[in-house]
Chains A and B, each alone.
Chain A
Amino acid sequence: MRIAVSTTNGGLDDKVSEVFGRAVSFTIVDVEDGEIKSIEVVRNDYAVRGGGAGIAVSQFLADKGVEVVLTGNVGPNALSVLNSAGIKVYRAGGMKVSEAIEKFLKGELEQILVPGDPKFGRHRRSV
């Protein structure tokens, strides 16, 4: 299973960022039988562009074959794309990445079904 986590510097020791579309990076992990098999950190080039960052990132993650997203908040447009792509989104803002993944695998994270405010991350990219 491929999980994408919104992060800043990226990696398992980083924290899950509160923003989705304008997260600085995404830490993408492949999990098999409850174990992390591979880790990839991707810089989010859409974060610094104009409108529609959440949409573009969602598209990017869908193309990457991501099935689950762990993040803090996700806006309406991004959530709609993620839903259409069959990607499930779980709330894990502020948690350590490794801990968030662990909690997700144990089924302890809350699924995000209702979007947060649009443009939440627009001016908070450093968070």
Chain B
Amino acid sequence: MRIAVASGKGGTGKTTVAVNLAYFNGIDLFDLDVEEPNDHIFIKGESKEETVYRKIPKIDEEKCDFCGICRDVCEYNAIVVLKDKAYTFPELCHSCGACSYFCPRNAIEEVDKPIGKIVEISSDIKLTYGLLEIGEAMPTPLMRAVKRKMGKKAIIDCPPGTSCPFVESVLDADVCILVCEPTPFSYHDLKLAMGVMKKLDKKFGVVINKHGLPFDIESKIQAPILGKIPFSREIAEKYSRGELLFDYEDLFKEIYDRAVSL
């Protein structure tokens, strides 16, 4: 079973839940927050890297007759064709390939653009994560490349928010754990995340982190509560040192058991 750990609001404890859940249940971990991966701070070991590319168009001006079809089919305004010039804006390109497909003169070749890398760490469990190149606008192509490494059993650490990267990271999960904290802000974003879960028809449950803060989130949540992690200075200190929560091993085993039986 693949379990995605997501939240909506950032900073609620996705990483805390994901790394401890993976470690204490012996499951391979995938950090899909490719813009800011951090699971490797907790799971250390020997690493192996590979570069990931996506396709962008390269226009051969010898063959091009500046007809402008490529520009017209581009949904993302990534190609400009002037009277005697044609050029591309790779950062706007979504690598759909329409330009080269429709070019009547075969003047567009699709070439590789590096967008980041996949890092695999061998430890007690295996951690695989993506690291997006600085300046690269789209995380999803790299996320998909990381996902291709995923087996049937996985814990997925998702990026925050509820937009495309979040959707991409929960898409292949069987179950989703939404991590929240007892604050109005987190509750607001949790509702958004739950809305996406329902649209995607995903099974999900909620973990309340920092349990004990005064805002009552628990009675408002209309979903199974899989576990509560106490609001504790000790946990925060361990997290800031990159340590796993060995005192809470049982809790993370329980959360896992409840998640798989959702």
CB distance from A74 to the nearest CB of B (A): 15
Q: Do A52 and B78 touch (CB < 8 A)?
A: yes
How far, in whole Å, are A85 and B83 apart by their CA atoms in the complex? 8
Known: A58-B80, A84-B82. 8 other contacts (CB 8 A): A50-B76, A52-B78, A52-B92, A55-B78, A55-B80, A55-B89, A59-B80, A77-B89
Let me know if B87 is at the binding interface, CB within 8 A: yes
Let me know if B85 is at the binding interface, CB within 8 A: yes
Task: Pick the residue among A51, A62, A84, A85 that contacts B77 (CB under 8 A).
Answer: A51
Chain A residue nearest to B71 in the complex (CB): A59
Q: Do B76 and A51 touch (CB < 8 A)?
A: yes
Chain B residue nearest to A46 in the complex (CB): B77
CB distance from B209 to the nearest CB of A (A): 33
Chain B hits for A51, CB < 8 A? 76-77, 92
A-B contact list, 14 entries, CB within 8 Å: A46-B77, A49-B77, A51-B76, A51-B77, A51-B92, A52-B78, A58-B80, A59-B71, A59-B80, A59-B81, A77-B89, A84-B80, A84-B82, A84-B85
Chain A interface residue count, Cβ-Cβ cutoff 8 angstroms? 15
Q: Do B92 and A55 touch (CB < 8 A)?
A: yes
A-B contact count (CB 8 A): 35
Q: What range describes how many residues of B lie at the interface?
A: 10 to 19
Let me know if A56 is at the binding interface, CB within 8 A: yes
Chain A residue nearest to B92 in the complex (CB): A52
How far, in whole Å, are A85 and B92 apart by their CA atoms in the complex? 20
Chain B residue nearest to A58 in the complex (CB): B80
Label chain B's interface by main secondary structure: loop
Chain B hits for A59, CB < 8 A? 71, 77, 80-82
Let me know if A81 is at the binding interface, CB within 8 A: yes
Q: Which of A83-105 contact B (CB under 8 A)?
A: 84-85
Label chain A's interface by main secondary structure: helix
Chain B hits for A84, CB < 8 A? 80, 82, 85, 87
Chain A residue nearest to B74 in the complex (CB): A52
Chain B hits for A77, CB < 8 A? 89, 92
Task: Pick the residue among B76, B82, B92 that contacts A62 (CB under 8 A).
Answer: B82
Chain A hits for B92, CB < 8 A? 51-52, 55, 77
Q: Do A52 and B82 touch (CB < 8 A)?
A: no
Q: Mark B66-107, 1 if CB is under 8 A from A, else 0.
A: 000001000011101110010101001000000000000000
CB distance from A34 to the nearest CB of B (A): 27
Chain B hits for A53, CB < 8 A? 77
Chain A hits for B81, CB < 8 A? 59
CB distance from B74 to the nearest CB of A (A): 9
